[in-house]
């Protein structure tokens, strides 16, 4: 049984108003969807952010392998900074 179908019954049980249960069915559906939607959105954002983290880790490893000599420290720092900036942009896209 779905949560939105249980809410009118719960309302009726709490208030003792059987007639009001039908009137609240639409309101219950709205409340249930408003309650559940953010939880699903958070789950999607978490998955998206996890993907961003994987891309970031891969980019940093690529930077480290590309710039592995002491003479390339500045290039390595720049590459890692670019990876950080890309990660932040990715996370921003996930949360908007």
| Residues 44, 55: Cα–Cα separation, whole Å | 17
Q: Is 93 helix (H, G, I), strand (E, B) or coil?
A: helix
Is the model more confident about 7 or about 69? 69
The maximal CA–CA distance of the chain, rounded, in angstroms, is: 80
Q: Please say if the pLDDT value at position 36 is more than 80.
A: no
In this prediction, residue 65 has a pLDDT band, given cuts at 50, 70 and 90, of very high
- Residue whose C-alpha is closest to residue 11's, from 1, 2, 27: 27
Is the model more confident about 12 or about 95? 95
Tell the residue number behind the tokens 């309302």, with chain if given.
11
Q: How many other CB atoms are found less than 10 A from the CB of residue 83?
A: 19
Q: What is the pLDDT, as a whole number, of residue 45?
A: 81
Average pLDDT value for residue range 26-30: 48
CA distances (Å), origin 77, targets 1, 2, 35, 54, 81? 55, 53, 44, 19, 6
pTM of the model: 0.55
């Amino acid at each position: 049984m779905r949560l939105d179908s249980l809410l009118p019954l719960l309302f009726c049980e709490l208030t003792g108003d059987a007639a009001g249960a039908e009137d609240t069915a639409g309101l219950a559906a709205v409340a249930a969807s408003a309650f559940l939607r953010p939880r699903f959105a958070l789950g999607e954002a978490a998955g998206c952010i996890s993907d961003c983290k994987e891309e970031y880790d891969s980019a940093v490893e690529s930077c480290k392998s590309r710039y592995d000599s002491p003479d390339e420290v500045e290039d390595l720092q720049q590459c890692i900074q670019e990876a950080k900036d890309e990660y932040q942009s990715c996370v921003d896209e996930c949360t908007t």
